[in-house]
Amino acid sequence: MTQFNESASGAYGVQDYSAQPTIDGVEIIQLRRFNDDGGSMTELGRLDGGMHKLVPGFEAKQINYSVMDPQVIKAFHLHKRQTDVWYVPPSDKIMLVLADVRSGSATEGQVKRYVLGDGNSFLVRIPPGVAHGAKNLRTVAPSAIIYFVDVQFSVDEDCDEGRLPWDFFGTDVWEVERG
């Protein structure tokens, strides 16, 4: 077996390829892309009276389209009542950071990162009490997020759009892993 020098031996590590725990209530739903010689199409969902067929129990009350400039971080959003369902087009690339801040949750304190877009089509269900933020990983182009919510936005006393500081879970959560 090959022996490494002292410097390399001290820095050597093996990546953990095992399945990682998820945050309770977060769902990643694989979508199908239909490709032909003229392009592609992805169905984001079928609604029946506002109920999303791929996200059981979720009633869409508002659909939003957001664009993030290159390398921008938008964090952290937090809701007491609202569930978000996010979609990032395959042509874009966004890192979604989720953190469970629900008191007493089985996954309280857990922080997870997901890369959305980048050739893939997923819906991500983000339940109330799970802080969420995003970083556009593209360096020269904007990236888009399309998201469904089950509570309509309001600026009055019913406002459910809370915030935590962008670095609440540390600045390194936004760093791109190297190696």
| Digit-coded pLDDT (tens) for 108-131 | 999 999 999 999 999 999 999 999
The predicted pLDDT at position 179 comes to 67
pLDDT at 26: 94
Per the document, the length of the chain is 179
> Within a 13 Å sphere around the CA of 134, how many CA atoms are in the beta-carbon half?
24
Burial class, 164, CB count within 10 angstroms (exposed 0-12 / middle 13-18 / buried 19+): middle
10: helix, coil or strand?
helix
Residues of the chain with pLDDT under 70: 179
| pLDDT value, residue 160 | 87
pLDDT of residue 35: 83
The domain locations on the chain are: 23-34+41-152
CATH of domain 23-34+41-152: 2.60.120.10
Q: What is the DSSP letter of 2?
A: P
